[in-house]
Amino acid sequence: MFLPDFIDHTNLKPTALPSDIKKLCEEAKTYGFYAVCVNGCHVSVAKEALKDTKVKIAAVVGFPLGAMSTKAKVFEAKDCVENGADEIDMVINIGWLKSNQFDLVRNDIKSIKQAIGNITLKVILETCYLTPSEKEKACILAVEAGADFVKTSTGFGNGGATFDDVILMKKMVGDKAKIKASGGIKDRETALKYIDLGVSRIGTSSGPSLLN
């Protein structure tokens, strides 16, 4: 197990400058991280900074609230891919989920997956706002819609990843989807614990300190 292979090195701050994104990419190259994760407006900056490297680019869609229309999310996802994104991290529509509008939630995810084709799609559940039964249902809907990953958190809610949430998510998706833990993961011991629990990716802005 090589820890950098699990890390999406992340800067999603609204105040991030192009220079900050370039620094993020340089760190990703230095440490050999799997990917960087950025807002859509920075995808082209990351693409240029990472050319001729193996580092992937993940772009967030419907971030951080998930409350945009499906049509808007689809347009955003396609735009990110056209600008060079290798993966899309979309936020689930939390209000639709909590009001039992499951067909809308499933279609929201499915529409993006259909629009981006073979591009990896991660579905952010924002677990801090969900009950255990809602987390279970969100995992089921994501798998039914063809998602490649379920992901715990945006890092902008009132809580991030927890071990209990990852255990629940792994129980629900099994081998049908991978899991990304994100939000509040700031030390190596915690990251390794998540990997032991079955996550395939760690979203963190603390990648270098996890390795040093």
Question: Where along the chain do its domains lie?
Answer: 3-211
Q: Decide if pLDDT at 204 tops 90.
A: yes
Confidence at residue 161, expressed as pLDDT on a 0 to 100 scale? 98
* φ/ψ bin of 70: left (φ > 0), alpha (ψ from -120 to 50), beta (otherwise): alpha
d(CA 1, CA 6): 9
Q: Decide if pLDDT at 1 tops 90.
A: no
Confidence at residue 97, expressed as pLDDT on a 0 to 100 scale? 98
In whole numbers, what is the pLDDT of the chain averaged over residues?
97
Confidence at residue 188, expressed as pLDDT on a 0 to 100 scale? 95
pLDDT tens for 120-147 read 999 999 999 999 999 999 999 999 999 9
Q: Tell me, what amino acid is at 191?
A: A
Domain 3-211 has CATH 3.30.200.20: no
Angle at 86 between CA 85 and CA 89, to 5 degrees: 80
Q: Decide if pLDDT at 60 tops 90.
A: yes
Q: Decide if pLDDT at 36 tops 90.
A: yes
Q: Which two tokens stand for residue 173?
A: 């998706």
d(CA 67, CA 207): 29
d(CA 78, CA 119): 10
- Catalytic one among 73, 110, 137, 151? 151
Mean pLDDT of 77-105: 98
Q: Decide if pLDDT at 172 tops 90.
A: yes
Q: Is-catalytic flag, 151?
A: yes
- Catalytic one among 8, 86, 89, 148? 89
Q: Over pLDDT 70: what percentage of the chain?
A: 100
Place of tokens 């994760």: 37
Q: Decide if pLDDT at 90 tops 90.
A: yes
d(CA 12, CA 159): 16
pTM for this prediction? 0.98
Q: Is-catalytic flag, 137?
A: no
Q: Is-catalytic flag, 22?
A: no
Q: Decide if pLDDT at 74 tops 80.
A: yes
Q: pLDDT confidence of 212, banded at 50, 70, 90?
A: confident
Q: Decide if pLDDT at 108 tops 80.
A: yes
- Catalytic one among 137, 170, 178, 180? 180
pLDDT tens for 6-27 read 999 999 999 999 999 999 999 9
Mean pLDDT of 57-67: 98
Q: Decide if pLDDT at 28 tops 90.
A: yes
Gyration radius from the chain CA atoms: 16
